């Protein structure tokens, strides 16, 4: 076990996502030692993963090295490590590089794709939760066009040209819109042998409208935008099976397709060892109103992994970046209160609103007292995303990419850097 180097308490944060980064930053100059463990050496800006998958942005623009974020923070240390076990009796965590002792443990591991136990769907469909997964998807999409060019059989060719996105939350809607823009403006000049009127994009949703958590006005407008762009929206439609060749639905419909993008749900990224913790809806860990995991006095959970019932949110908070950010900030202050034997303050989420973009000049924004759609919403969406992207270089490169894409109607990164191979690459990511 790595030895302790100071009289100050050791705070281990598992996960350098939105929540983990915030709590570590807020602990700067406090009388604690912070050790962050993450299986990647970078922070991922997940809201823009779909742009990496559809050739709009390079992966480097949406990822940022964690060590660089904390270069000037003397009480911060970082290790690339996959945490595999929490040992509450010895107050330590077991990782791929050894064990580490903690006085306070913060679990900020986020969530992972939920296939709801459907192994075949998990094997054949494409998730989009990490940079490697987005790059796999980008390769697969482009490989399918290369296959479609050489395929002689019309039926087999159509399966390469049908794209099915399951789940019409923000990720599904944004991905469907980005694919439609590729079809309408970009790909026809690359592949003049393909008849792009045959490229079909289906967005499938079990609920009765797209963007179910948004206002009805936003859902209605988003669907209208998508349909104008040529996306077929199938609401009230539940997936039954997908075998890599065709997807079937509970209503008996079938679509032949080589590409199913799965954005239908997430579940908490649980690490074993918390025997007293309650794992509730969506595989999240139940906490008190100041993020303490019930059953423990020094283990906390923030962000997507945490489930906190409050008067305003009786079924827990939404799994969005703002919740993770605000919980991280609040828990930093509470940890100092706890160390100083003061009473921690309850978390009160300030909902700043929701937004999703569908394409060029098309977005929807729901604020508490104002809901708007179209060009101004799209500008707002871009501004907010640039604001929250980590790192000046990333902000600049992303903004330049968006400006060039806007005027050229092009996407610069249509590259198959490494071929996607379902068997080997899915195993890579599972181990990762």
Options 178-186, 231-239, 297-305, 412-420: segment touching ligand FAD (CB under 6 A): 297-305
Which CB, 127 or 344, lies closer to ligand FAD?
A: 127
> Which secondary-structure segment (H or E) carries 366?
strand 362-366
Nearest residue to ligand FAD, by Cβ distance, number only = 17
106 binds ligand FAD (CB under 6 A): no
109-137 burial code (b ≥16 CB/10 A, e <16): bbbbbbbeebeebbebbbbbbbbebbbbb
Among 133, 174, 181, 205, the active-site one is 174
Q: Is 62 in the site for ligand FAD (CB under 6 A)?
A: no
Applying CB under 6 A, the span of 36-44, 224-232, 253-261, 331-339 interacting with ligand FAD comes to 36-44
Q: Among the candidate windows 16-24, 192-200, 342-350, 394-402, which touches ligand FAD by CB under 6 A?
A: 16-24
Report the candidate in 26, 194, 15, 199 with the shortest Cα–Cα distance to residue 111.
Answer: 15
Q: Closest approach of Cβ 355 to ligand FAD, in Å?
A: 7
Cα 28 to its chain centre, rounded Å, is: 27
- Only segment of 9-17, 240-248, 345-353, 422-430 that touches ligand FAD (CB under 6 A): 9-17
Question: Is the torsion defined by CA of 197, 146, 225, 169 positive or negative?
Answer: positive
What is the chain's Cα-based Rg? 22
Phi-psi region of 297 (alpha: psi -120 to 50; beta: other; left: phi over 0): alpha
User: CB-based burial of residue 341 (10 Å sphere; 0-12 exposed, 13-18 middle, 19+ buried)?
Assistant: exposed
Q: Given candidates 129, 221, 317, 426, which one binds ligand FAD under the rule CB under 6 A? A: 129
CB of 264 to ligand FAD, least distance (A): 12
Binding of ligand FAD at residue 40 (CB under 6 A)? yes
Is-catalytic flag, 174? yes
Does position 67 interact with ligand FAD (CB under 6 A)? The reply is: no
- Give the integer Cα–Cα distance in Å for 426 and 319: 25
Tokens of 276: 């007293």
DSSP at 167: -
Under the criterion CB under 6 A, does residue 131 sit at the interface with ligand FAD? no
d(CA 163, CA 141): 9
Options 75, 92, 139, 171; binder of ligand FAD; rule CB under 6 A: 171
Spatial distance between the Cα atoms of 168 and 152, rounded to a whole number of angstroms: 33
d(CA 422, CA 121) in angstroms, rounded, equals: 12
Q: Are 48 and 356 in contact (CB under 8 A)?
A: no
The residue (of 108 and 201) whose beta carbon lies closer to ligand FAD is 108
**Closest distance of CB 428 from ligand FAD, Å:** 15
* 69 touches ligand FAD (CB under 6 A): no
Task: Give the H/E segment covering residue 220.
Answer: helix 216-228
For the segment 235-294, give every residue that binds ligand FAD (CB under 6 A): 269, 271
User: With CB under 6 A, what is the number of residues at the site for ligand FAD?
Assistant: 34
* Residue 16 engages ligand FAD in binding (rule: CB under 6 A): yes
Binding of residue 109 to ligand FAD (CB under 6 A): yes
* Residues 133 and 126 sit within 8 Å (Cβ to Cβ): yes
* Strand (E) or helix (H) holding 217: helix 216-228
The region of 45-53, 56-64, 135-143, 241-249 touching ligand FAD under the rule CB under 6 A is 45-53
Look-up of token digits 């030895």: 3
**Residue with Cβ nearer ligand FAD (158 or 326):** 326
Give the H or E element holding residue 84: strand 83-87
- Range in contact with ligand FAD (rule: CB under 6 A) among 35-43, 137-145, 236-244, 335-343: 35-43
Residues 300 to 359 in contact with ligand FAD, rule: CB under 6 A: 303-305, 319-322, 324
Among 110, 167, 177, 359, binds ligand FAD (CB under 6 A): 110
59 lines the binding site for ligand FAD (CB under 6 A): no
Alpha helices (H) in 114-206, listed in sequence order: 119-124, 131-150, 154-161, 170-181, 187-190
Known catalytic residues are 174
| Residues at the contact surface with ligand FAD, assessed by CB under 6 A | 14-20, 37-40, 46-47, 49-50, 82-83, 108-110, 128-129, 170-171, 269, 271, 303-305, 319-322, 324
């Amino acid at each position: 076990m790595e030895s302790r180097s100071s009289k100050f308490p050791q705070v281990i944060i598992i996960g350098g996502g939105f929540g983990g980064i915030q709590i570590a930053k807020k602990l700067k100059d406090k009388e604690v030692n912070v050790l962050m463990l993450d299986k990647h050496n970078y922070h991922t800006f997940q809201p823009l993963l779909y742009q990496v998958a559809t050739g709009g942005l390079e992966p480097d623009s949406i990822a940022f090295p964690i060590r660089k974020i904390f270069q000037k923070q003397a009480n911060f240390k970082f290790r690339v490590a996959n945490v595999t076990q929490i040992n509450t009796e010895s107050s330590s965590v077991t990782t791929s590089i050894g064990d580490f002792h903690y006085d306070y443990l913060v679990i900020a591991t986020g969530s992972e794709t939920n296939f709801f136990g459907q192994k075949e769907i998990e094997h054949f469909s494409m998730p989009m939760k990490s940079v490697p997964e987005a790059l796999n998807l980008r390769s697969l999409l482009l490989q399918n066009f290369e296959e479609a060019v050489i395929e002689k059989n019309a039926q087999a060719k159509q399966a390469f040209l049908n794209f099915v996105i399951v789940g019409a939350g923000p990720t599904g809607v944004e991905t469907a819109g980005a694919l439609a823009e590729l079809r309408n403006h970009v790909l026809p000049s690359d592949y003049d042998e393909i008849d792009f009127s045959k490229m079909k994009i289906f967005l499938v949703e079990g609920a009765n409208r797209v963007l179910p958590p948004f206002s009805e006005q936003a859902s209605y407008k988003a669907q209208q935008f998508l349909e104008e762009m040529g996306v077929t929206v199938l609401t009230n439609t539940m997936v039954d099976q997908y075998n890599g060749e065709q997807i079937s639905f509970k209503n008996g419909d079938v679509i032949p397709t080589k590409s199913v993008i799965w954005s239908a749900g997430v579940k908490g990224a649980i690490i074993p060892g918390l025997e007293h913790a309650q794992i509730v809806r969506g595989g999240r860990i139940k906490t008190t109103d100041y993020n303490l995991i019930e059953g423990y006095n020094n283990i906390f959970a923030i962000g997507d992994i945490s489930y906190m019932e409050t008067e305003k949110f009786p079924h827990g908070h939404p799994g969005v970046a703002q919740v993770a950010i605000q919980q991280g900030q609040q828990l930093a202050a509470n940890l100092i209160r706890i160390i100083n034997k003061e009473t921690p303050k309850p978390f009160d989420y300030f909902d700043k609103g929701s937004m999703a973009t569908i394409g060029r000049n098309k977005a929807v924004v729901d604020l508490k007292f104002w809901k708007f759609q179209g060009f101004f919403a799209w500008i707002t969406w871009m501004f907010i995303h640039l604001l929250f992207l980590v790192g000046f270089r990333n902000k600049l490169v992303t903004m330049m990419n968006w400006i060039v894409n806007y005027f050229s109607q092009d996407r610069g990164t249509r590259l198959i850097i490494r071929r996607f191979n379902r068997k080997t690459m899915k195993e890579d990511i599972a181990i990762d």
